Amino acid sequence: MKKHFSILTLTYLLMACAPSNKQKQDTLTVEKVNLPPMVGNDADEHGCKASAGYQWSVLRNECIRIFETGVRLDPVAKDLEQSLSAFVVIKTDSSDQEIELFVPYDEQTIIVKKEATNKWKNDKYVLTKAKEIYSIEDANKKLLYKGAVE
């Protein structure tokens, strides 16, 4: 009888000290929540990784780094944030019928179509090129950005 009592008591104590399934699940959940985010896991809907400097180019139909591919145009207007540049991206060297503009604070890129020699336009911006210098004006002919082709 003492053996049965000792075995039953020991079994009961072991079961009382063992964590329940709920406690195990809670521990696993906490561990998953506390994992740091994976670096470079920020691809957009096109697969472009912003943390690596890539943005989607509608004109080129690929992820590009505008600071490598485009022409930087610095702000000229006093009311613009002077540390944010605009960029001009051309589809190819031989095709300049459409040019893509990356303008700060515009949520999407802007496509301007060739209107005349060295002039592209849409309802919001006018892009001109004179002696390897690009300029962006708004619809009211206010000069916004300017930069040289390197």
Q: How far is CA 44 from CA 47, 52, 54, 61, in A?
A: 5, 12, 10, 14
Are 103 and 112 within 8 A, CB to CB?
no
Say yes or no to pLDDT of 76 above 90: yes
Say yes or no to pLDDT of 14 above 80: no
Say yes or no to pLDDT of 107 above 70: yes
pTM of the model: 0.70
**In the predicted model, what is the mean pLDDT of residues 9-36?**
58
| Average pLDDT over the chain, rounded to an integer | 83
The pLDDT score that the predictor gives to residue 5 is: 54
Residues 6+ apart with CB under 8 A from 137: 125, 126, 128, 143, 144
The pLDDT score that the predictor gives to residue 71 is: 95
The pLDDT score that the predictor gives to residue 47 is: 86
Are 136 and 101 within 8 A, CB to CB?
yes
Sign of CA dihedral 77, 81, 85, 86: negative
- Element of type H or E holding 137: strand 133-138
